[in-house]
Chain A
Amino acid sequence: KQEVTQIPAALSVPEGENLVLNCSFTDSAIYNLQWFRQDPGKGLTSLLLIQSSQREQTSGRLNASLDKSSGRSTLYIAASQPGDSATYLCAVTSGSRLTFGEGTQLTVNP
């Protein structure tokens, strides 16, 4: 059974800092990995999708990497802003199933 773990559970940083969120998964037989953002009381928004054959994806200030063999992914956020404050979830796809980590709650302080 696939298990996804995210570290840290919570992170508080001052505005402008670069930061890294970590995700690990137990079964490397994945189809892809996604990073989502969830704002309080809201649904999930897909940020980046990395196919299993890819090593990274970039969107604006976000960069996600994937090392399938070691079962790890990182989400790098450059020059963080208060608007980046949210919970970030990592999810891996096996078949059509998404298995989610428990998320990292990020607070960016002005």
Chain B
Amino acid sequence: DAGVIQSPRHEVTEMGQEVTLRCKPISGHDYLFWYRQTMMRGLELLIYFNNNVPIDDSGMPEDRFSAKMPNASFSTLKIQPSEPRDSAVYFCASSLSNIQYFGAGTRLSVL
């Protein structure tokens, strides 16, 4: 398996634009997690899914953030409208047991 695949690797956009981050989990994994990493706040869990169903979205910072998992092999994290303070690295991870496998991340810069 190629591991957790995230796209794009880098995204530069202007304030107010919509941003969509994508994640393909490892085949067979039933949990999917979205994290955000910043220098100020470290790694924060935003939301996670179990069998495509959102379980805990308490980490989603605002209504501007939304996440979907339409099927077992794909998830999106959308920010609309984006703001400069959303600039961070966003990681997706998937797991079957207790070990989470992380993607390489998407580095988002909102100008």
Residues of A within 8 A of B (CB): 31-32, 34, 36, 41-46, 49, 51, 89, 91, 93, 96-103
Interface residues of B in 3-23 (CB under 8 A from A): 4
Q: Is the interface of A mostly helix, strand, loop or mixed?
A: strand
Residues of B within 8 A of A (CB): 4, 31, 33, 42-43, 45, 48, 50, 55-56, 91, 93, 98-105, 107
Residues in chain A near residue B50, CB distance under 8 A: 96
Residues in chain A near residue B43, CB distance under 8 A: 89, 91, 100
For A34, the closest partner residue in chain B by CB is: B99
**B99 engages A100 (CB within 8 Å):** no
**B103 engages A43 (CB within 8 Å):** yes
Name 4 extra pairs, CB < 8 A, besides A42-B105, A43-B102, A91-B43.
A34-B98, A34-B99, A34-B100, A97-B45
